Amino acid sequence: MKLLQKTGLFIAAALMVVACGPGNNTVETGDAQEVAAGSGMTLAVDASSSKINWTGYKPAGKHWGFIPLTEGEVMVEGESLTGARFVFDITGLKIEDMEESNEFYGKLWGHLQSADFFDAENHPQAVFELTAVEPFSAGSIQDKEEFVTEYTPAKDSELSSNPTHWISGNLTMRGVTKNIKFPATVSIANGSVAAKAGFNIDRTAWGLAYGDESNAVDKAKDQFIYNTVSVQFDIQAN
């Protein structure tokens, strides 16, 4: 069992929460959980039609891009998702809001790869492993309150569209493993799986703590970066 492609968190990104707290309709982050054993049929992720995007925010602007998936698998039994594992290449992170020829592209890319963020030299991969799946219950998604500026991060409720399930899984970045729970739209039919999701993660939970907003009120608007990173994925497995 294994799975996922393009994003980014993380990333800043990108990259996966954010609105911590109790409640079935809350995107949240917690301690690592036991990985789902998985059963049934194993499907390979289609890297050509799957992607994971990230958006990072600061009061004066935002950046976005993706992190490529290097390998991924999902396991299904009947119409149930039973297991999944995705591996991402942090060193392959791309920034899409500027041209690679732009001198600031290289500076930002290098900064994200450095020990200030992903520490890609020591931790070149990020891994997501499914731990639980449950039906999405009716009701609204609870949003985290953010420090308000011109570029306040998107809300979880704005990033998710018609979710069918709550997905939980262990996300490992920079040598730190945390469990994240988020809403997703999952469809399983005719030997294939399609999954879409949009949610926020708190980058500092994985040690991506450069320029964090802990003292945002005392900082100039351009001197900190939001802890929140938006993650969106569109996965196809056959």
Rounded Cα gap, residues 195 and 165, in angstroms? 10
Letter for the amino acid at 142? Answer: Q
Q: Residues 21-47: pLDDT tens digits?
A: 334 688 999 999 999 999 999 999 988
Letter for the amino acid at 139? Answer: G
In a domain, 17, yes or no: no
Q: Low-confidence residues of the chain, pLDDT below 70?
A: 1-24, 214-223
**pLDDT at residue 101, as a whole number:** 95
Is 16:10 a contact under the CB 8 Å cutoff? Answer: yes
Rounded Cα gap, residues 48 and 225, in angstroms? 32
**pLDDT at residue 4, as a whole number:** 38
By residue range, what is the domain housing residue 136? 28-230
**pLDDT at residue 24, as a whole number:** 66
* Closest residue by Cα to residue 16 from 214, 138, 168: 168
Q: How far is CA 81 from CA 1, 31, 51, 138, 168, in A?
A: 11, 22, 19, 20, 12
Number of structural domains, the chain? 1
In a domain, 144, yes or no: yes
Is 56:95 a contact under the CB 8 Å cutoff? Answer: no
Is 72:86 a contact under the CB 8 Å cutoff? Answer: yes
In a domain, 105, yes or no: yes
Query: Which CATH number fits the domain that encloses residue 156?
Result: 2.40.128.110
Rounded Cα gap, residues 221 and 210, in angstroms? 15
In a domain, 2, yes or no: no
**pLDDT at residue 32, as a whole number:** 96
| Dihedral sign computed on CA atoms, order 231, 156, 205, 133 | negative
Paired tokens of 37: 């054993």
| Dihedral sign computed on CA atoms, order 82, 175, 64, 50 | negative
Q: Model's pTM, two decimal places?
A: 0.84
In a domain, 88, yes or no: yes
In a domain, 157, yes or no: yes
In a domain, 237, yes or no: no
